[in-house]
Structure 1
Amino acid sequence: MSIKKRLIASNVAMIVFPIVLFLLLELVIATLIFSGMNGTPVKKDSQWFMSLRFIGLLFILILTNGILTYMVSKTILKPIRILTKAAEEISNGNLDHEIVSVNKDELGKLSETFESMRLQLKKAREERDLYENNRKEFVASISHDLKTPLTSIKGYINGVLDGIPDNPKTKQMYLKTAYQKAEDMDHLINELFLYSKLDFEQFSFQFEPVSLDNFLADYLQELQYDPYFKDVEFTFQSETSENNSVMADRLSLGRIIDNILQNSLKYSDKKERKISVYLQYESDTVLVKIEDNGKGIPKESLPRIFESFYRADPSRNKATGGSGLGLAIVKKLVEGHGGDIWAESEEGKGTSIYFTLKKRKEGNSNAKRINH
């Protein structure tokens, strides 16, 4: 019952209850007095009867008004006290204080709104704490990943300046190693720059119709001549579809595939390395699945592999190194295409990366440049 209806009912009860009780009281008093006087009251008895009537009426008014006022105020003041306590807890930084409302009136709705606000504040604080922790981890990772090759470069160059290489071949090896470390730094800086543009939605996509079937077939064909993938057995399967075109940025699409494949090989532990690519056409999207036969990803690490600087393998050696931004960039690029990305994995058997792209709608064949 709403507060308005409750107050109206209370006011009506404050009129009806006293009248009913007064009539009953008057009947009882009259019965007692008249029965005691054998039905022939005298003047003194009539005065006594009027006095009892007045006292009884006053008592009934005080009693009924007191009880009704207490009952109504209790249903209003109790939720207010709960909300006041909750507001104090929130002002003191305690967002775990739950607000339970049993009323179905305006105060009940206010309590539900207050509880919803508390949950939103709690979620915002958790996201802020997570962001702050990620920021600290991000800065620490950048510092480490930039300092490591820089220290190596300085060491090799100082070695050359100090004349440690005693022959031209060793000196050449020192300089080539320093140059390779500089290349690694340059790659990391480019990855950071790209990730920053994607994160701040300042990256420009050049969307155009792309036949995903042909694009992937040609892309995997070219990888057969890449020394990095020379020992990899590729398999490509695609469903037949009349409309197999998607709206995509070719360069970004190539980077998505390349980053996923490189990440697959980085954690491969099999002598015969295999990667399978599948295309599945749905009503409005195309599903791409890239499956490897690597060592897989632990369950606790799987939800975090698309975070920046997260490595399922915490070691930072040459085999499992990299910028730690590869899959984070992939996620940003896929989302920039309006698609979704996720992963499934089983330790010891391999990992599958899935992502979707939107199909090109009929008549939508013009290339578009979109800043994201």
Structure 2
Amino acid sequence: MSIKKRLLLSNIAMIIIPVIGFLLIEIILGYLFFVMGNAEPEGKSLQRFMNYRMVAVLLLLAITNGLLTYFVSRTIIKPIKRLNLAAEKIKQGDLDHSIQSRKKDELGQLANTFEEMRKSLKQAKETQAKYEENRQELIASISHDLRTPVTSIKGHVQGVLDGVADSPEKLERYMQTIDNKTDQLEKMVDELFVYSKLDLDRMPFQFEVLDIYAYLNDMVDELMFQYDEINFEFTADRKRNFLVKADREQLHRAIMNVITNSVKFIDKKEAMIRIRLIEQSEHVMIMIEDNGSGIDEFELPYIFDHFYRTDTSRNSATGGSGLGLAIVKKIIEAHGGTIWAESELGQGTTINFLLKKGEQT
């Protein structure tokens, strides 16, 4: 019951109860005085009856007003005290003090709103703590990853300056190493920059309706030229609808990151990467399958986390920056899609993701 209705009923009760009480007092006192007491309704008897009736009515009014005021104020003051206590707890940094209310009045709604605010503040605090933890982890990982190529570049440059590279062949080898490490460093910085923009939702996306079949067909031609040692297969039912809403550049980045990751872990003589398109009711599913070394089952849930590596050696051949698949996940989620991995150790890995269908305009 709302506070407004409660106060209205209280005011009505303050009128009705005294009226009914007055009638009862009139009947009871009249019965006691004039029936049982055999008094005559005149003179001193009548005066005494009037005095008793006045005292009884005043007592009735005082008791009625006091009880109604107490009970009504109690239903208002008690919730306010709870709210005040909760506010003090929040002020002190305690966000675990619940103030959930089952009442449907205004104060109950206020308490529930206050409870939602408390939960939001607690979630924000936990998110902030998580971001701080991620930030510290990010700084530590960046420091480690950047130190390796920088140290290598510095060492080779110092070798050239000290005259260690005292032959054209040795000098060329030193310069080639410096060039490779510089490329590696540039790629790591670029991936870090891209991931940071995606994580802060500051990466601009230019969505358009794409024929993903034609798009992937062109990409496969590009990949076959880039990785001529790998056998690429592309399969799809051309009669199906493969129009999706996507950003060309960012989708290209995501697919290339998956392919690059697959290439690093292919350990078979006949390297193979198969790309398949499957139409669903509201999505198009893209499957990128390789015949690489595979991933342990316990590691699968973490491969899309930033700086997570299934190869803990962090070597230049397979270590990478640890951001490639994390960037893929961010891009696919920005498209409103989902991504997951399936793998069998020693057999290979399949990266699957869904993209929403688009309509031709």
CA 1:291–1:63 in 2, change beyond 3 Å: closer, same or farther? farther
User: Which stretch has the larger CA shift, 191-200 or 136-145?
Assistant: 191-200
Structure 1 distance, partners of 2:203, 2:118, is 36
| CA-CA distance at 1:164 after TM superposition | 4.4
Any idea what the Cα deviations from partners look like across 1:62-89, whole Å, max 9, x if unmatched?
1111111111111111111111111111
Q: Higher relative CO (CA 8 A, sep ≥ 6), structure 1 or 2? A: 1
Match of 1:342 in 2: 339
Alpha-carbon separation, structure 2, partners of 1:300 and 1:70:
64
> Sequence identity, in percent?
48
What amino acid does structure 1 have at the position aligned with 2:187? Answer: H
User: What 5-or-longer segments of structure 2 have no aligned partner?
Assistant: none
Deviation digits for residues 177-223 of structure 1 (CA, Å, limit 9, x no counterpart) = 23321221122123234444555666566666643223323433543
> How far 1:279 moved relative to its partner?
1.0
Task: Look up the equivalent residue of 1:67 and give its one-letter code.
Answer: L
Please point out which of 279, 282, 307 is paired with 1:281: 279
Q: Note if 1:356 corresponds to 2:354.
A: yes
The answer (yes or no) to whether the contact 1:198–1:333 under 8 Å persists in 2 is: yes
**Displacement of 1:233 after TM fit?**
5.2
- Over residues 150-195 of structure 1, what are the superposed CA-to-partner deviations in whole Å (9 max), with x where a residue is unaligned? 1112123323444446765455434432332122112212323444
Cα distance, 1:347–1:106 mapped onto 2, change above 3 Å: farther
Aligned amino acid, residue 296 of structure 1 = I
Following TM superposition, by how much is the alpha carbon of 1:31 offset from its aligned partner in structure 2, in angstroms?
2.1
In structure 2, what is the Cα distance between the partners aligned to 1:271 and 1:71? 85
Unaligned runs of 5+ in 1: 365-372
In structure 2, how many angstroms separate the alpha carbons of the residues matched to 1:252 and 1:72? 63
CA-CA distance at 1:42 after TM superposition:
6.7
Spell out, residue by residue over 1:22-62, the C-alpha distance to the aligned partner (whole angstroms, 9 max, x if none). Answer: 32233222222334433546733333322221221111111
Alignment match, 1:329: 327
Task: Name 2:8's counterpart in structure 1.
Answer: 8
Partner residue in 2 for 1:102: 102
How do 1:276-315 residues align onto structure 2 when only pairs under 5 Å count? 276-283=274-281, 285-292=283-290, 294-296=293-295, 298=297, 302=301, 304-315=302-313
8 A contact 1:341–1:353 mirrored in 2: no
CA distance in 2, matches of 1:109, 1:150: 60
Evaluate the alpha carbon distance shift between residue 178 and residue 4 of structure 1 in structure 2; reply closer, same or farther with a 3 A threshold: same
Report if the CA contact (8 A) 2:332-2:339 is conserved. no
Change (3 A) 1:197 1:121: closer
- Contact preservation (8 Å) 1:269, 1:295: no
Please report the TM-score for the alignment, with normalisation by the length of structure 2. Answer: 0.84
Supply the AA of the counterpart residue of 1:84. N
Relative to structure 1, is the Cα distance of residues 104 and 194 closer, same or farther in structure 2, using a 3 angstrom cutoff?
A: closer
The 8 Å contact of residues 198 and 330 in structure 2, kept in 1 or not, is answered as yes
1:236 to 226, 234, 237: 234
Q: Contact 2:312/2:319 (CA < 8 Å) preserved in 1? A: no
Structure 1 residue 326: Cα displacement: 1.2
Once residues 19 and 286 of structure 1 are traced to their aligned partners in structure 2, the CA distance between those partners, rounded to angstroms, is: 77
Equivalent of residue 317 in structure 1, options 310, 315, 318: 315
Give yes or no for the alignment of 1:259 onto 2:251. no
In structure 1, the residue matched to 2:180 is 180
Using the alignment, how far apart are the partners of 2:106 and 2:261 within structure 1? 56
> Structure 1 pair 34/271, CA: closer, same or farther in 2 (3 Å)?
farther
Task: Map 1:151-162 onto structure 2 (within 5 A).
Answer: 151-162=151-162
The aligned counterpart of 1:144 is: 144
Q: Which residue of 1 aligns with 2:62?
A: 62
Contact 1:241/1:281 (<8 A) preserved = no
Structure 1 position 301, deviation (Å) = 6.1
Structure 1 pair 335/241, CA: closer, same or farther in 2 (3 Å)?
farther
Name the aligned partner's letter for residue 295 of structure 1: G
What are the superposed Cα offsets for residues 317-349 of structure 1, whole Å, 9 maximum, x if unpaired?
33441122212332344355x341321335636
Which residues in structure 2 correspond to 1:35-114 (within 5 Å)? Answer: 35-40=35-40, 43-114=43-114
> Which region of structure 1 is more displaced relative to structure 2, 316-325 or 112-121?
316-325
